[in-house]
Structure 1
Amino acid sequence: MAQVVWRAGDRYRGGDAEAGIETRHAFSFSGFYDPDNVGFGLLVACNEERLAPGAGFAEHPHRDVEIVTWVIEGELAHRDSAGHETVVRAGDVQRLGAGSGVRHSERNAGTGELRFVQMWLVPGAFGTEPSYEVVRGIAERTPFALPGTEAVLHVRRPAGEERVAVPDAAFVYLHVVRGRVLLEGTALGEGDAARLTDTSGLVLSAAQDGAELLMWEMHAEPAYG
């Protein structure tokens, strides 16, 4: 097993404080570029977002990317050029397949702070028809398979002495949403992440009650062209 840990404090800081947007990037993104940190497996972005009430991102375009959003707390209003208009809440998984091109906007539709994690992945095919879906209140042990790719999202909330098996895959990206977990003796706190390879037999456990984490199981690297 190979392991690289990225602490919450090492994330690139972005956003616009005056507009009520705070962003923390795990990979090269927007104005932050590091040639040695452009992705892991199929994952090319993992952004922690905090939006003040009414704040958000105006309509903007995407193409040939799968955008998966996990809402931690608050209400995320989504609107896109394909006619989808929804409100995504804590525990929901939202997927926007940009395909050949789509425009969308996102904003805080609630009265309190909105917190979410947004993850971008390379699609299995390019130039496809844009697509959209929301899985409401995803169950802890119900994996979310990203259509057309070799990527699966797992949500885990270990408690007490429970030991959780890490998926056996070529690449596993683990992001701690809240609380603290132990990964083979390494403590990971809120906002910390681990990039893992050769994960056969690897397990983790909660270091405190209320822990929640996201794990991407990926069996491939991007294939362009």
Structure 2
Amino acid sequence: MIEVRKGSDRYRGADEATGIETRHAFSFSGFYDPDNVRFGSLVACNEERLPAGAGFGLHPHRDVEIVTWVVEGELAHEDSEGHTAVVRPGDVQRLSAGSGVRHVERNAGPDPLVFVQMWLVPEEFGGEPEYEVVRGIADATPYALDRARAVLHVRRLREGETGGLPNASHVHVHVVRGGVRLDGTGLGPGDAARITGCAGLSVQAGEAGAELLVWEMGAGPTAQP
């Protein structure tokens, strides 16, 4: 089954004081839909937009895997475990909250910051917090999230190029840039597809090419070339 979720249907929140805008794909914060709580181990896929100088102050997390993909700008991270980093487009950031961690996220540059943040539920709760940044991840390189038994595939496709999707119990495709066609349906920026029980699927990029974040959940890496 393929369920398409359009970016225009996301719940949109805004903080007038800070200028931060958020677009939620799942139930999150003050928005709750009992029929849209999670997909596989994925419980959040938020598009965040922060003007220069804005950020999220020190706040706690536990028992969640947080993966961040910067679309534009520079994201500064600081946490209670002593980790600090500036994350830029092309980098993958992972914060495994484990038994508990606090962190700060803010716009570290002079330009607007746009990033996609995805939360996954680990298979086991507790454990020591972990932090990692992979700089300049290559196209189609699998990034394994062992605690959640999930794999992230970053796909960058040129105009007309076709890319295979993983064969797994749950596959989530989020379009960051450009557009693709999936099983006859067009997907543009902010759109997503939730796929279950399908194998051998592929996407084809449109005229502007495409950048995709593809989650493979419930199995090891099986993405097709």
> TM range, normalised to the smaller chain?
over 0.9
Cα RMSD between the aligned structures? Answer: 1.0
Q: Structure 1 residue 159: deviation in Å?
A: 1.4
Equivalent residue, structure 1, for 2:187: 188
**What is the distance in 2 between the residues matched to 1:161 and 1:189?**
15
CA-to-partner distance for each residue in 1:126-159, whole Å, 9 max, x for gaps? Answer: 1110000000010012111012332000011111
Give 4+ residue runs of structure 1 displaced > 4 Å after superposition: none
SS in structure 1 at match of 2:167: coil
CA-to-partner distance for each residue in 1:165-224, whole Å, 9 max, x for gaps? Answer: 11000000000001111101100000000100123111111012231110000017xxxx
Contact 2:160 2:207 in 1 (8 A): no
SS in structure 2 at match of 1:9: helix
Equivalent residue, structure 1, for 2:104: 105
Contact 1:70 1:116 in 2 (8 A): yes
**What is the distance in 2 between the residues matched to 1:164 and 1:172?**
14
Normalising by the residue count of structure 2, what TM-score does the alignment of the two structures yield? 0.95
- Residues 1:175 and 2:174 aligned together: yes
**What is the distance in 1 between the residues matched to 2:79 and 2:207?**
39
Q: Structure 1 residue 124: deviation in Å?
A: 2.3
**What is the distance in 2 between the residues matched to 1:208 and 1:178?**
12
What runs of 5+ residues in structure 1 fail to find an aligned partner?
A: 221-225
What runs of 5+ residues in structure 2 fail to find an aligned partner?
A: 220-225
**What is the distance in 1 between the residues matched to 2:201 and 2:29?**
34
Equivalent residue, structure 1, for 2:222: none
Contact 2:65 2:148 in 1 (8 A): no
Supply the AA of the counterpart residue of 2:105: E
**What is the distance in 1 between the residues matched to 2:57 and 2:148?**
29
**What is the distance in 1 between the residues matched to 2:134 and 2:156?**
18
Q: How does 1:48-197 map onto structure 2 within 5 Å?
A: 48-197=47-196
Q: Structure 1 residue 123: deviation in Å?
A: 0.9
Q: Structure 1 residue 68: deviation in Å?
A: 0.2
Contact 1:157 1:211 in 2 (8 A): yes
Supply the AA of the counterpart residue of 2:58: E
Identical counterparts, % of pairs = 68
**What is the distance in 1 between the residues matched to 2:145 and 2:207?**
30
